[in-house]
Structure 1
Amino acid sequence: MSKQYAFCMPGKIGDALYTLPTIQTICERDDAEATFITSEMCRPLERLLLYQDYIVDFVVPPEYIIMGEGQGVQPWEMPVVGEYDKVYQLGYAQCPRGPLHKFSARCAGLETVPDPVYKYPNKKFYSDPYVVVGYCASRGYPPMWDAYRYMIENCPIQVVQTGTMADYIDSPSDNMAELDLLDVLPLLAHAKLFVGFYSGLLVLANGFPELQRIVTLTSKGCGEQHGLHLPNTLEIAYPPPCSHEETRAPRFQEELLNAVFWGVDK
């Protein structure tokens, strides 16, 4: 009979996804099954996590209350109800250093883990090439909204938006903003290009090394420390303030659109 391990990570979604290489490595090493214990913030991951062979249960303790989100979701330590052979608390008790999947591995006593990969349903949404765009609104950063709209309107192939309706831009694109994250995986698997921010959707996109990725930054260096830096990735930062302020938005719009043409032509 397999050992039963509990892995606790309150979130956020991207942080939770970055624990999966650690969980998989430990379960395969110890012939164990995992219960993933998390907060309501990670509820959208339930189907995706339970689809992975090594995770058998998904638990959100009703007594856990989120008190902060600055350095990962806090409190970092989560309540555990029930009997487990081992309990791993993978929340951030300190500010994480370096790529998050490697930081989680060190917290669990592992020297190294592979990059994230995911098991997902075998399905296709489109027969023609398409671009997946995630989180257009960039958490309320207005210049990005305009740049993404410009890119979508001028993209040479089909654009599909994912994320949430709060980030959705009304534009000539397909709306899959409410698509379950498990189903986002096959959408990404067959995409020509992903365009987005450092977010949970980028963590999913990073599970497909052959996928071309464009990552937009609100400023140079934003999010770079903890991300997974793969080939086929182009990062574009919004220009810093300068004497020609009126040119910042148009310059970024053109740079983003040119990058999309680069990705589509690859």
Structure 2
Amino acid sequence: MAALIQFQGFGFQYPGSPAPVIRDVSLDVQAGHFVAIVGGSGVGKSTLLRAAAGLSEPSFGHLRSSLQDSPGRRANAFVFQDSRLMPWRRVGANVAYGLEGLGLPRAEREQRVDAALRQVGLAHLKDRWPHQLSGGQAQRVGIARALAVQPDLLLMDEPFSAVDALTRQALQEELVQVWQRSAAAVLFVTHDIDEAVFLADTVIVLGGSPAGVSARIDIDLPRPRDRGTAEFAVYVKDVGAGLQA
């Protein structure tokens, strides 16, 4: 199966910086695959996401992408650490934002919005204002906005880091269900080892300075995953060892 995104010896150095922030990274994201990138602060996790989105070019190596926008669809969509909802738009209008400019008839845009909100369990909140939402609800709206454009690749930058632990776990479980119902691949950045093992097919561990890939771990566990099993604990330990390498 051809990769949607392929990093080959990828490196990135900010202009004027004496050294690259990340170098010699090779990884790929296959269609329908869930890849998590784990690492500490400043190791270039978000840099890889921006590059995958086409927002920055490699300073070294290559980045190959087969992603292309198509009629009525975006090639990729972002979900950020905060929901970034526009306070002057109701929930439904926030979800519809990514559909603007795609040339879709109004009726189809409405259908897409309704379907995306149903996927995240918020159809009943379509007419609410952002300030009327909890933190978890706001993040679900952000996910719905991304799903509405039917992306081939969903880019997620620590999307659950700002919510409480119970909400975070619920959002993780819901994300797996939403992803399994969609055709999208996911590239997910996190500093949380447990989260990465729970969500991903493959975990890429970044470390060092400049950062590089210190481990690649394929998670061979059935879904839904049980955090209480010995097998889950082994994978958590393996990812942790990669961070210490």
- TM-score range (shorter-chain normalised) is under 0.3
Higher relative contact order (CA 8 A, sep 6+): 2
Q: Which has the higher helix share?
A: 2
- Please give the TM-score of this superposition, normalised by the length of structure 2: 0.28
Question: Which one has the largest radius of gyration?
Answer: 1
- Please give the TM-score of this superposition, normalised by the length of structure 1: 0.26
